[in-house]
Structure 1
Amino acid sequence: MTTLLHIDASARHGESGSTPHGSHTRRLTARLVKRWTDMHPETKVIYRDVGQNPPPPVTGRWIHAAFTHEAKREPWMHEELRLSDLLVEELLQADMIVAGVPMYNFGPPAQFKAYIDNIVRIGRTFGFDRSRNGDPYWPLLAGEGKQLVILSSRGDYGYQPGGTLAGRNHVETSIQTAFAYIGIVDTQSVAVEYDEYADQRLADSIGKAEAAVDALVTQLSR
């Protein structure tokens, strides 16, 4: 049985097309999850809305707790890491991660960055040993076959690889870097563009993105 972790990071409520000023990324993630579960009804879906309920950003206390060996943690440290532990457990369960992450000022929303900071955990998702030969860091989720799908949206256009604004797109690349660091390297992405234009170009982009999502579900189901 596949476990799918569905994450939404948009600050917008609802989905575009059905909610006024709704989110394109929520629209795409909902479509992908529905298509997938229609084809694979046995799938277990874990839902995490970090756009509406963001995890707290990392603090000095969090760092102190995370970098203290579990056997030596004081009670307050366990409490400090309680939500992070839950987010890590959800990630560990997942075979597929479907993340709706819009572009805000050229990068992911702060809510999603806080999510990443909570799941990139020493001893849980990556290892570190100063005495290790070569690189002292290594991914703990490597080789598990986890797949990451990033569904994004942009106000402007040309952010795709080779596009005129590709160098300003720090959404997919930053997410891929963080997830690869912990061992999740199988990544696919689809994005809507032209949001700020609100014309036929946006409608066409949404249509192309939805078709790409449908094709991706078929591809990943093979």
Structure 2
Amino acid sequence: MKLLEIQTSVRQDRSVTRTLASKFIYQWQAYHPKAQHYLRDLGAQPPALITNDWVAANLTPASDQTDETRALLATSDTLIAELFASDRLVLGVPMYNFGIPAHLKAYFDQIIRVGHTVDYNRDTQTFEGRLTDKKAIIISSRAGKYTPETPESAMDFCVPYLQFILSFLGIQDVEYVEVPYQGMGDDQQQKATEASIARLMELAKTW
């Protein structure tokens, strides 16, 4: 079994999502000692933004690809192969300005490709994701409280977007663990953090 950890925080030592993901993966590996763990650190090494030339290369049939177009798509091909080779995904995603980090959006732009990660049915005009045999956990931190069915929930463009994108890619089995928001009292923050860690430890047993 292979676990792909995708980290998106630009912080390293002080990243809450990195810390909780590390705790989860350490515990998960205790139950799966033969499992392989790979890290894709988008916060430290952001993928390139797609360009006009990239789009043109992506739309070029395989039989017409050249060394130049293949070079433009090389990063995308690598990231896609990495996804298909993985059985489990752990995403550490802090909310930045109510949405996902820009480098995670760049990552999705690199990997969401018709004929590679999704199929398009012209008759029904529908998409079908190819990553149907994966499970994912989203560990998300934020500096505010966006409880469902509250006015603040309308400002959360992070987790709903992630859930849609993963489903679009074919990943339906998704767990979500929210890291307590900043602004709580120290005692409340500590208790809430411990509860999030406890949930991750429970997920590690069966995930």
TM range (shorter): over 0.9
Cα distance in 1, alignment partners of residues 205 and 151 from structure 2: 30
Cα distance in 1, alignment partners of residues 206 and 147 from structure 2: 21
**1:18 is matched with which residue?**
none
SS of the aligned residue for 1:77 comes to: helix
**1:5 is matched with which residue?**
4
Equivalent residue letter for 1:53: Q
Q: Deviations over 1:107-161 (max 9, x none)?
A: 110111111111111211012353xx2124322223x2x101100101112x243
**2:69 is matched with which residue?**
77
Give the number of aligned pairs.
Answer: 207
**1:192 aligned to 2:179?**
yes
**Percent of aligned pairs with the same residue?**
32
Q: Which segments of structure 1 move beyond 3 Å, counting only runs of 4 or more?
A: none
Q: 2:143 touches 2:181 (CA, 8 Å); kept in 1?
A: yes
Q: 1:120 touches 1:178 (CA, 8 Å); kept in 2?
A: no
Specify whether residues 216 and 164 from structure 1 end up closer, same or farther in structure 2 by C-alpha distance, changes over 3 A only. Answer: farther
**1:151 is matched with which residue?**
139
Q: 1:9 touches 1:50 (CA, 8 Å); kept in 2?
A: yes
Shift of 1:209: 1.1
What is the root-mean-square deviation of aligned Cα atoms in Å?
1.6
Specify whether residues 196 and 68 from structure 1 end up closer, same or farther in structure 2 by C-alpha distance, changes over 3 A only. Answer: farther
Specify whether residues 185 and 81 from structure 1 end up closer, same or farther in structure 2 by C-alpha distance, changes over 3 A only. Answer: same
Equivalent residue letter for 2:139: L
Q: Deviations over 1:26-80 (max 9, x none)?
A: 0111111111111111001111000110101121111111121122112111111
Cα distance in 1, alignment partners of residues 73 and 51 from structure 2: 11
**1:39 is matched with which residue?**
31
Which ranges in structure 1 are unaligned for 5 or more consecutive residues?
A: 15-21
SS of the aligned residue for 1:114 comes to: helix
How does the TM-score come out when normalised to structure 1?
0.87
Q: 1:8 touches 1:99 (CA, 8 Å); kept in 2?
A: yes
Q: 2:31 touches 2:205 (CA, 8 Å); kept in 1?
A: no
Q: 1:124 aligns with which of 110, 116, 125?
A: 116
Shift of 1:194: 2.4
Which ranges in structure 2 are unaligned for 5 or more consecutive residues?
A: none
Q: Deviations over 1:163-184 (max 9, x none)?
A: 5522211112111111211211
Equivalent residue letter for 1:41: P
Cα distance in 1, alignment partners of residues 147 and 57 from structure 2: 39
How does 1:95-134 map onto structure 2 within 5 Å? Answer: 95-130=87-122, 133-134=123-124
Q: 1:192 touches 1:209 (CA, 8 Å); kept in 2?
A: yes
**1:91 is matched with which residue?**
83
Higher relative contact order (CA 8 A, sep 6+): 2
**1:175 is matched with which residue?**
162
**1:218 aligned to 2:192?**
no
Cα distance in 2, alignment partners of residues 107 and 212 from structure 1: 24
